[in-house]
């Protein structure tokens, strides 16, 4: 990216020199003598070249800046999941190795939030991905393989009813509106602190037919997301990893 920027800048400078030759112009001082002391400046062709150069540089840099911003959000999101993983481990230490168990995979997740907050997770922001706002319209919709009327952003209303961003996978029964890729015989799906390190414990919000996944990734089950594994490691994956649920 920076190499291309330098090339464009050098080309622009070369064009400026060419215009000066064509129009017989020369670089002048800011203060010139003409009927007294009047400030000089850029000619119209020079201004056009400068404006074109700035526009080109902005067109190159803005997408990169957007990607960098989203990458920083992804890092914060991964940190959130890691902190939740540590909190779950601490909870398990005083509960005979047991993690909290939700009835369904998805909101509301009151057992999870009440088990961890505020004793192990003192800040409710940890339960919300900073990119949740971009996915909120899909969570609210019933057109993407889910129940709709869901909300995953950090608001007082959502917190009061235990609506969070992340999915939690220690559950008792299948939600037919939004099923996990498990066979019926594999429910309840209960996780412990001794569960295989390959098992998914939590992840970014997902839904099968949503065209956009978190962090500007493509949608569907193959979309990219942060995943908290049972050993509290966090990885960014673009497909379901072997041993994720069974």
The DSSP bridge partners found for residue 171 are 102, 189
Over residues 186-195, the pLDDT tens digits come to 899 999 999 9
Q: What is the pLDDT of residue 183?
A: 83
Contact between 113 and 162 under an 8 Å Cβ cutoff? The reply is yes
CA pair distance 202, 123, nearest whole angstrom: 18
Contact between 214 and 205 under an 8 Å Cβ cutoff? The reply is yes
Over residues 140-154, the pLDDT tens digits come to 998 887 778 899 999
> Does an H or E element contain 164, and which?
none
Q: What is the pLDDT of residue 56?
A: 73
Angle at the Cα of 77 from the Cα atoms of 152 and 89, rounded to 5 degrees:
95
Q: What is the pLDDT of residue 61?
A: 59
Cis peptide before 16 (omega within 30 of 0): no
Q: What is the pLDDT of residue 18?
A: 43
Q: What is the pLDDT of residue 140?
A: 93
What are the angstrom distances between the C-alpha of 44 and each of 30, 33, 141? 16, 20, 52
- pLDDT, averaged in runs of 10, over the chain (246 residues): 45 46 45 48 72 71 61 92 97 96 94 97 97 92 85 97 96 84 86 94 89 77 86 92 88
CA 226 to chain centre: 9
Q: What is the pLDDT of residue 246?
A: 80
Terminal alpha carbon distance of the chain: 43
Neighbouring C-beta atoms of residue 13, cutoff 10 Å? 12
Instruction: Return the domain boundaries, the chain.
Output: 2-57, 72-237
195 burial (CB, 10 Å; 0-12 / 13-18 / 19+) is middle
What sign does the dihedral 97-103-105-111 (CA atoms) show? negative
Residue with tokens 């190795």: 97
Cα dihedral 119/120/122/124 (nearest 10): -110
CA pair distance 77, 132, nearest whole angstrom: 10
CA pair distance 59, 61, nearest whole angstrom: 6
């Amino acid at each position: 990216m920076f190499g291309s920027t330098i090339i464009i800048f050098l080309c622009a400078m070369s064009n400026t020199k060419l215009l000066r030759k064509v129009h017989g112009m020369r670089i002048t001082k800011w203060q010139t003598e003409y009927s007294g002391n009047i400030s000089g400046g850029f000619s119209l062709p020079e201004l056009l070249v400068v404006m074109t150069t700035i526009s080109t540089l902005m067109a190159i840099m803005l997408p990169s800046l957007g990607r960098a911003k989203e990458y920083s959000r992804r890092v914060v999101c991964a940190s959130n999941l890691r902190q939740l993983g540590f909190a779950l481990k601490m909870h398990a230490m005083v509960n005979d190795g047991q993690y909290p168990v939700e009835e369904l995979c998805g909101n509301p997740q009151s057992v999870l939030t009440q088990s961890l907050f505020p004793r192990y997770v003192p800040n409710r922001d940890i339960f919300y991905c900073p990119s949740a706002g971009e996915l909120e319209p899909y969570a609210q919709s019933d057109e993407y393989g889910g129940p709709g009327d869901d909300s995953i952003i950090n608001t007082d209303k959502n917190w009061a009813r235990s609506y969070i961003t992340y999915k939690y996978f220690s559950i008792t029964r299948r939600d037919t509106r939004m099923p996990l890729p498990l066979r019926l015989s594999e429910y309840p799906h209960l996780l412990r602190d001794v569960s295989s390190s390959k098992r998914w414990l939590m992840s970014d919000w997902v839904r099968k037919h949503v065209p956009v996944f978190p962090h500007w990734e493509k949608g569907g089950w193959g979309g990219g997301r942060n995943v908290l594994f049972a050993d509290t490691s966090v990885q960014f994956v673009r497909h379901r990893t072997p041993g994720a649920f069974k």
